[in-house]
Amino acid sequence: MRAALLAAIAFGLGPNGRAEVVAGLPGSTEVCTPGSESVGPAADYPQPESTRTMAARLQAISRSTSIQSPFFHNDAIADALKAKLQAMVDPDQILGTMFPYAEALLYAGRYEEALAAFSDYEKRMKDSGRPLTSVLEVKVWTGEALCCLRIGEMANCVNGHNSDSCLLPIRAGGVHKDKRGSTQAVVHLTRVLSKYPGDLRARWLLNLAYMTLGGYPDQVPAEWRIDPKVFQSEYEMKRFPDIAGSLGVDIDGLAGGVVMDDFDNDGFLDLLVSGWSPDSQIHLYHNNGDGTFSDRTAQAGLLGETGGLNLIQADYNNDGFVDVLVLRGAWLGADGHIPSSLLRNNGDGTFTDVTEAAGLVSAHPTQTATWFDYNGDGWLDLFIGNESKEKDTNLCELFRNNGDGTFTECAAENGLAIKGFVKGVVSADFENTGRPGLYITRLDLAGNLLLRNDGPAGADRSPNAPWKFTDVSKAAGVTEPFCSFACWFWDYQNDGWPAIMVMPYDIQDVGDIVADRLGLPSSAERPRLYRNNRDGTFTDVTRESGLYKAMMSMGANFGDLDNDGWLDFFSGAGNPNFDTLAGARMFRNDGRGRFQDVTTSGGFGQLQKGHGIAFGDINNGGSQDVFFVVGGAVNADHYRSQLFANPGNSNHWLKLKLEGTVSNRSAIGARTKVRVRTEGGFRDIYRTVGSGGSFGASPLRQEIGLGQALAIESVEIFWPSTGKTQVLGGLELDHAYWVREGDPECVTMNLGTFRLPGASRTGSGLAEEAPTASVP
Amino acid sequence: MRVLPPIAILLLGISAASGTSCLAQVQTQSPDPIPDSPAPQLRDDLVPYAAMGSAVADSIQLSSARWSGEQFEAFLTGIRASHNGRGYPLDERAQRMFEEINERQREAQTSPYSPNSQQSRVRDYMAHARAGLRMRQTESGLLFRVMVKGEGPRPRPNDTVVINISAKGPDGVSELPQLAATQLHVRVGSLFPGLAEGLQLMALGAKAKFIMPPELTFGDGKWPDGVDRGTPIWINVELVDILPP
């Protein structure tokens, strides 16, 4: 839809004592208002100097963001264009300015004004004897339709939000009460399709509009109707109701990241959520363990920590508390030279911005990084993927952890000063050598990179010595797709060898997604699933796995929805344009090498733009829930984040909190093999400690589905720094354990649980129940 | 750059569009072969029609089918009947013939000793082009990259589109003016398979680059003068308009 915006995106414009019982319910039970931006007065919560300095710097950057930013300043752009128009005399100049003006109004969220401006533009063109070309006609008519759709979305899905809002296929509470917007959208879209019946974007939007009016499929003209079978799930998964509103974590914001982890070691998973606009405040939601969350942003000393399209966590200083890296500047090009932040968890509920003291000041546009101990010294190092574009080179960075709270940048000397528009970096020991390598996705056409860690480059084998990473991308056969985004290593086959999943990001418009869904030719890029051949090479198994589907992926992550021991994944769909309502998609691993689309049956089909994703058991009930940061790139495209509550299943599970002693304390990179006894014999389930995919961060504790296991035979843990395998026995099904590297026994963690609250205001799925807390 | 009249593209397209599975073929031996005689002289305005017929025959390798004169006459009768809206139904015998032809052609194409072993060279070429030029590949083998994104309407097989088109040989440099056209009005389904498929990948206003293997252009049919038979062709297309139905 929007050429300028698209251009901006395309070219980078965007103990030693064991804790016998780890449990507890915090005393504080204050609950924030759903969607509230209130984080409390700053004066009540003094901040360290370093945090205040960073906050001031971020505030200054926010204020200086280019007025030309097509993401954050459409109001100003529209007003400037209006002023220009009023001063113009030349008819050609006026006509040349009217369309960008109408578009700026649309993306400023001034929909009524935009509608009038589009109409005025068409009329003036006609009056001037220059009827619109087909290309312009489609733009203007679709622009008018989008104004109406947005009016409907704002009135119903945002302001009248409920758990069914904007979930594809729209039904029940998702049907608009205020039908004016969608009713008018139908008129405009019908106009487009009457003249251009092959307009798949208009056809898709028309069907969506009828869904919001409760008229789908019957009222959709037959020639443009999309068969409801298109939305059928390939497996009937129980619906996961969105309970974010009930828990007060449905923050209304833009694209951003999430870390779901236990920041205060109380056994409950908390949430840290960011928004990408430079002035967007990071929020810390503390899980109170009783079905409520508290917004503790201010108490945590995080006021002024703004921006960040993505977040990743790790215990970088091995103090037993999970720290966070905030990644900033992505997509913003010249405006994107914003420092990322290292937030040290002080272990007392507060965080300190230690970026400068740690030597991590890096003002390059980025949204992706990975924690890994490349030199095996027990301290987590950091690799950051930066966005380079023409005339703005931002090489990737490798920060070696000095073990004293500081880092040394050493990418060049280790051969990792990589150039490209990097959108995803993940690490794994993909050859099971004990040394973690890297996979790097690039949005430009340079192709993706797989870098094998070959250890010290010379005779010096100390941690500070130069290291050798070898580019094995081509030989391994993992360079595609071109225009890649989110990525992750995962053992989706449970064979002990990490595979690679890469999500695509390249369409012309949403029509390409529609074409693929309808079995028509589509130019959209597809994901790639690369199976590990155990010999340093990989095989592209995308087609046979059922994943050769057009997607426009942004945030993505994986987990185990039904505790069957097979990893599933969720992909959000993102793009700045309002018309890119492609919808998020959830895929279930059937355990036989194929993935089944369970988007509709599970209730995951969020149409609005989806970014950071985390899988984790929010109520310690045994099954993983899914947190989803929803919201677009343009400041008018805000939406409410979601928490899809797991309705439960009959499978068994095991939770492992691993703690390195020689290896890094977070145990990142540690590999587990759980052997269970089943009616059919023994079964092995493999996992690796990490936060999952490159966009969104799941908890570092391992939540492992065991299917219909009869008993746990053994748990083997391979520790990355020592190369030793620790073997544990006597673990029980459906329990959580704390495992310390080298300890012969593990400790049972009695995690508190609570019942998840009712689905939401309109409700579907879970029964309405009062939150209750319990400590087993 | 010479601009071909639309009919030229149409003709070239149909020669390959008929492909390996569009028309029936048949037995291997014949006691009454088709007489081998020079091509008869035709009035100039009828030559294109005869060329179209030849192209259809070439595309299914009719000359190697060894039909009898009687069988050939029956084939022509079927074409006339179809032209008059009274085509013969495709019964089991005809379907069997179809399968035999397809099988024979598959064997010929995969044999390392056949003239079609050029295919392996083409496959290598396409694989290198895909990796080196960062292009995507469809199931059919078509390589493409959308250079300028379009939006909204997509052409359908029966739509008439307005396109600008240019072509180059497999070196990616040598212009093929005989395949170039500007503001060409043409029905999508009438174009050769690669171009018909490629256009359907494009949205209105898009510009795209394609590399088409020979089976998606002129295949076993008649190749235009100056275009090396059996070679991949680079084609750039701009989708200027999709005309209202």
B7 band by pLDDT with thresholds 50, 70 and 90: very low
- B242 to A134: CB separation less than 8 angstroms, yes or no: yes
Residue B36 lies in a domain: no
Residue B130 lies in a domain: no
A616 band by pLDDT with thresholds 50, 70 and 90: very high
- A138 to B151: CB separation less than 8 angstroms, yes or no: yes
Same domain, B117 and B144: no
Taking the C-alpha atoms of residue B142 and residue A543, their distance in angstroms, rounded to an integer, is: 17
In A, which residues are within 8 Å of B149 by CB distance?
Answer: 6, 508-509
- B244 to A511: CB separation less than 8 angstroms, yes or no: no
Mean pLDDT in residue range A65-91: 88
pLDDT at B32: 54
pLDDT at B39: 62
- B203 to A522: CB separation less than 8 angstroms, yes or no: no
Give tens-digit pLDDT for A263-299: 999 999 999 999 999 999 999 999 999 999 999 999 9
List the structure tokens of A43. Answer: 């004066």
Mean pLDDT in residue range A610-625: 97
In A, which residues are within 8 Å of B245 by CB distance?
Answer: 197
Domain count, chain B: 2
In B, which residues are within 8 Å of A198 by CB distance?
Answer: 153-156, 159, 242
Share of chain B above pLDDT 90, in %: 48
* C-beta neighbour count of A431 within 10 angstroms: 18
Residues whose CB falls within 8 Å of the CB of residue B41, separated by 6 or more in sequence, listed in order = none
pLDDT at A41 over 60: no
- Where do the H-state alpha helices sit in A128-232? 134-152, 180-195, 200-212
pLDDT at B12 over 90: no
Give tens-digit pLDDT for A404-441: 999 999 999 999 999 999 999 999 999 999 999 999 99
DSSP 8-state class, residue A378:
S
Residue B199 Rama label (left phi>0; alpha psi -120 to 50; beta): alpha
In A, which residues are within 8 Å of B132 by CB distance?
Answer: none
Give tens-digit pLDDT for B21-41: 221 222 223 345 555 555 667
- B201 to A445: CB separation less than 8 angstroms, yes or no: no
In A, which residues are within 8 Å of B159 by CB distance?
Answer: 198
Residue B68 lies in a domain: yes
Share of chain A above pLDDT 90, in %: 86
- B201 to A523: CB separation less than 8 angstroms, yes or no: yes
- Burial letters for A672-710: b for 16+ Cβ neighbours within 10 Å, e otherwise? bbbbbeeeeeebebbbbbbbbbbbbbbbbbbbbbbbebe
CATH number of the domain where residue B221 is located: 3.10.50.40
Residue from A146, A196, A523, A578 to probe the interface with B (highest B Cβ count within 10 Å): A523
- Whether residue A101 contacts residue A77, with contact meaning beta carbons closer than 8 Å, is answered with no
Residue B39 lies in a domain: no
Chain B residue with minimum CA distance to A133: B241
Q: Which of B95, B123, B151 is the last residue of a domain?
A: B123
Same domain, B226 and B170: yes
- Whether residue A536 contacts residue A475, with contact meaning beta carbons closer than 8 Å, is answered with yes
Same domain, B17 and B60: no
Same domain, B153 and B64: no
In A, which residues are within 8 Å of B241 by CB distance?
Answer: 133-134
List the structure tokens of A663. Answer: 């290896």
Taking the C-alpha atoms of residue B218 and residue B59, their distance in angstroms, rounded to an integer, is: 9
Mean pLDDT in residue range A449-473: 95
- B203 to A511: CB separation less than 8 angstroms, yes or no: yes
- A198 to B244: CB separation less than 8 angstroms, yes or no: no
Q: Which of A503, A499, A567 is nearest to A533 (CA)?
A: A499
Residue B57 lies in a domain: yes
Give tens-digit pLDDT for B143-153: 999 999 999 99
- Whether residue A149 contacts residue A157, with contact meaning beta carbons closer than 8 Å, is answered with no
Mean pLDDT in residue range A452-472: 95
Same domain, B172 and B238: yes
A142 CB within 8 Å of a chain B CB: yes
Mean pLDDT in residue range B191-207: 97
Share of chain A above pLDDT 70, in %: 92
Beta strands in A25-102 (DSSP E): none
List the structure tokens of A260. Answer: 């779901």
pLDDT at A775 over 60: no
Same domain, B86 and B207: no
Chain A residue with minimum CA distance to B204: A135
* Cis before A241 (ω within 30): no
pLDDT at A275: 96
Indicate the residue of A1, A196, A479 with minimum beta-carbon distance to B153.
A196
List the structure tokens of A550. Answer: 């057009």
Residue B235 lies in a domain: yes
pLDDT at B87: 81
* C-beta neighbour count of A92 within 10 angstroms: 10
Same domain, B152 and B231: yes
Tell me the CA end-to-end span of chain A in Å, nearest whole number: 55
Mean pLDDT in residue range A312-323: 98
Residue B144 lies in a domain: yes
Lowest mean pLDDT among A724-738, B58-72, B160-174, B186-200: B58-72
- A142 to B152: CB separation less than 8 angstroms, yes or no: yes
pLDDT at B17 over 60: no
Half-sphere exposure of A215 (CA within 13 A, CB side): 16
pLDDT at A194 over 80: yes
pLDDT at A759: 39
Same domain, B174 and B206: yes
Burial of A390 (0-12, 13-18, 19+ CB in 10 A): exposed
Same domain, B177 and B237: yes
Residue from A196, A224, A506 to probe the interface with B (highest B Cβ count within 10 Å): A196
Taking the C-alpha atoms of residue A469 and residue A374, their distance in angstroms, rounded to an integer, is: 10
Mean pLDDT in residue range B187-210: 97
Average pLDDT over chain A reads 91
A5 band by pLDDT with thresholds 50, 70 and 90: very low
For chain A, the C-alpha Rg in angstroms (whole number) is: 25
- B138 to A521: CB separation less than 8 angstroms, yes or no: yes
pLDDT at A707 over 80: yes
A550 CB within 8 Å of a chain B CB: no
Alpha carbon of B194: minimum distance to chain A alpha carbons (Å): 12
Residue B237 lies in a domain: yes
Query: Of residues B171 and B103, which shows the higher confidence score?
Result: B171
Give tens-digit pLDDT for A667-706: 999 999 999 999 999 999 999 999 999 999 999 999 999 9
pLDDT at B63: 64
B77 band by pLDDT with thresholds 50, 70 and 90: confident
Lowest mean pLDDT among A104-108, A136-140, B218-222, B241-245: B241-245
Chain A residue with minimum CA distance to B153: A199
pLDDT at A30 over 50: no
- A520 to B136: CB separation less than 8 angstroms, yes or no: no
pLDDT at A499 over 80: yes
A511 CB within 8 Å of a chain B CB: yes
Range of the domain at B223: 6-25+135-243
B98 band by pLDDT with thresholds 50, 70 and 90: confident
Same domain, B98 and B147: no
- B203 to A520: CB separation less than 8 angstroms, yes or no: no
Share of chain B above pLDDT 70, in %: 73
Please report the ipTM that was assigned to this predicted complex: 0.88
In A, which residues are within 8 Å of B153 by CB distance?
Answer: 134, 138, 196, 198-200
B68 band by pLDDT with thresholds 50, 70 and 90: confident
Same domain, B101 and B152: no
pLDDT at B37: 54
Mean pLDDT in residue range B110-137: 77
pLDDT at B67: 76
Taking the C-alpha atoms of residue B24 and residue B17, their distance in angstroms, rounded to an integer, is: 14
pLDDT at A637: 94
Lowest mean pLDDT among A247-261, A445-459, A488-502, B21-35: B21-35
pLDDT at B84: 82
Q: Which of B102, B123, B144 is the last residue of a domain?
A: B123
A123 CB within 8 Å of a chain B CB: no
Same domain, B147 and B229: yes
- B205 to A201: CB separation less than 8 angstroms, yes or no: no
Q: Which of B123, B143, B175 is the last residue of a domain?
A: B123
